[in-house]
Amino acid sequence: MSTAKRPVNLDLSSIQFPLPALVSISHRVSGIMLFIGLIFLMWAFQVSLSSPAGFDTVREAMAHGFFARLVLWGLLSALGFHLVAGVRHLVMDMGHGETLEGGQRGSQLTIIISALLVIMAGVWVW
């Protein structure tokens, strides 16, 4: 079995990924972001339940802290995108949108809905 005729391209930056592939990869990245963001949420939850002063500390950080609001907005944005992309994958698992055109259309719809959710989360947090 000769592999001399196979093209080998190990430079991922030179590959033009189609939109459905980028949305699928972003879905995985948003899941990792959510998993890591749970550290912040669990810490804030633990501090807020430790005492009334801890609750006031977390409340003040969420109300006036730039970093806390930025993290919260990032987590809500990742959650919104991950949810919409997950629904897209479920719809594809049911046999809809599996063609090239359907995958492209579903990816575009995922980006549009996610952008709206990100904007809504930003308005709510800020």
| Residue list for the binding site for heme | 82
The structure tokens listed for 73 are: 């907005």
- Alpha-carbon distances of 22 from 61, 64, 82, 103, rounded to whole Å: 34, 35, 13, 11
Closest to 18 in 3D by CA, of 99, 124, 114: 99
- Binding site listing: 82
Angstrom distance (rounded) from CA 44 to CA 32:
19
Angstrom distance (rounded) from CA 58 to CA 69:
11
3 state SS of 98 = coil
Q: Are 24 and 16 in contact (CB under 8 A)?
A: no
